[in-house]
């Protein structure tokens, strides 16, 4: 009984220290740079799993170390009765298996099911006003962005690189297609790509012959110059140019976006 008390005390102490470390990670968020409503759902799920699984991780590691120390015997010797553990210990099996089932059920319901329900709700017309529609075309090895509401067929930076620019706090509907608009003989002559924006916390495969959709709302003004996570990157190996298939992204104010649209129209008109 005394050993069980020692184990329980060590478990509580190390779990508390781990939870303090978790709060530091969550507060300073060194692993993720998230600037979208969809990304926040994923980040909340990660934080929940981190907090809940820390005591579980501490328990498993401490149990392994404690067992190695407590039940160590010399080679060839039979451990005394007080250092033996019955394999058919029903209480141990019940706690171990029952706890594992309970944790898996918990994680299935939350955050998996609950977060998916919120993400699916973003696709519903009542929740998504489609204030801005952006057509995204993936081709080897380039992203092309079009804004049909503004008559922009391809948006570029001053140095000719394809650019995605969005207004902050405005719902966006991405229309995703994979084809090569320069191959008129077969507009579907391309391969599978993946539309990945790390700062938005989203990744959607773009497949030739299919039209896919992604919905989100940018939540902060930022740009690729502020953080390299603010970019469009292909996350599906699509050939030798795959590592360089990326485009900068900027999230700006409504006024800046309106000025940018005017500048893009002027650029398109020569």
Q: How many CA atoms lie within 13 A of 85 on its CB side?
A: 11
pLDDT band at residue 193 under the 50/70/90 scheme: very high
Q: How far apart are CA 255 and CA 226, in angstroms?
A: 20
* pLDDT tens digits along 203-262: 999 999 899 999 999 999 999 999 999 999 999 999 999 999 999 999 999 999 999 999
Whether the pLDDT of residue 54 is over 80: the answer is yes
**Terminal Cα distance for the chain, rounded:** 84
Nearest-CA neighbor of 223 among 182, 168, 142, 155? 168
* pLDDT tens digits along 231-241: 999 999 999 99
Helix axes 114-122, 37-70, angle to 10 degrees: 170
Whether the pLDDT of residue 55 is over 70: the answer is yes
Whether the pLDDT of residue 62 is over 90: the answer is yes
* Angle made by CA atoms 18, 48, 63, in degrees to the nearest 5: 40
Q: How far is CA 202 from the centre of its chain?
A: 6
Domain-by-domain residue ranges, the chain? 2-75+85-122, 132-268
Q: How far apart are CA 107 and CA 52, in angstroms?
A: 10
CB count in 10 Å sphere of residue 136: 22
pTM of the model: 0.78
Tokens 């529609």 sit on residue: 133
* pLDDT tens digits along 139-154: 988 999 999 999 999 9
CATH code for the structural domain at 132-268: 2.60.40.420
Contact (CB, 8 A) for 213 and 206? no
Query: What's the average model confidence in pLDDT over 172-195?
Result: 83
């Amino acid at each position: 009984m005394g050993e069980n008390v020692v184990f329980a005390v060590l478990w509580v102490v190390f779990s508390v220290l781990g939870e303090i470390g978790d709060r530091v990670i969550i507060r300073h968020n060194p692993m993720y740079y998230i600037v979208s409503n969809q990304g926040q759902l994923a980040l909340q799920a990660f934080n929940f799993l981190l907090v809940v699984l820390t005591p579980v991780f501490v328990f498993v590691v401490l149990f392994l170390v404690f067992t190695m120390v407590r039940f160590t015997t010399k080679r060839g010797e039979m451990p005394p009765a007080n250092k033996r553990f019955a394999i058919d210990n029903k209480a141990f099996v019940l706690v171990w298996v029952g706890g594992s089932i309970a944790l898996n059920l918990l994680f299935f319901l939350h955050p998996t099911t609950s977060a998916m329900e919120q993400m699916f709700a973003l696709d519903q017309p009542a929740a998504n006003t489609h204030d801005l529609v952006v057509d995204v075309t993936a081709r080897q090895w380039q992203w092309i962005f079009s804004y049909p509401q503004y008559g922009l067929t391809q948006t570029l930076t001053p140095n000719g690189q394809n650019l995605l620019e969005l207004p902050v706090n405005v719902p966006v509907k991405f229309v995703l297609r994979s084809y090569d608009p320069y191959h008129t003989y077969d507009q579907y002559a391309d391969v599978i790509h993946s539309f990945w924006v790390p700062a938005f916390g989203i990744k959607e495969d773009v497949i030739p012959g299919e039209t896919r959709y992604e919905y989100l709302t940018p939540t902060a003004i930022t740009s690729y110059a502020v953080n390299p996570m603010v970019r469009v990157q292909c996350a599906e190996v699509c050939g030798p140019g795959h590592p360089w298939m990326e485009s900068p992204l900027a999230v700006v104010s409504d006024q800046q976006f309106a000025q940018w649209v005017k500048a893009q129209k002027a650029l398109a008109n020569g």
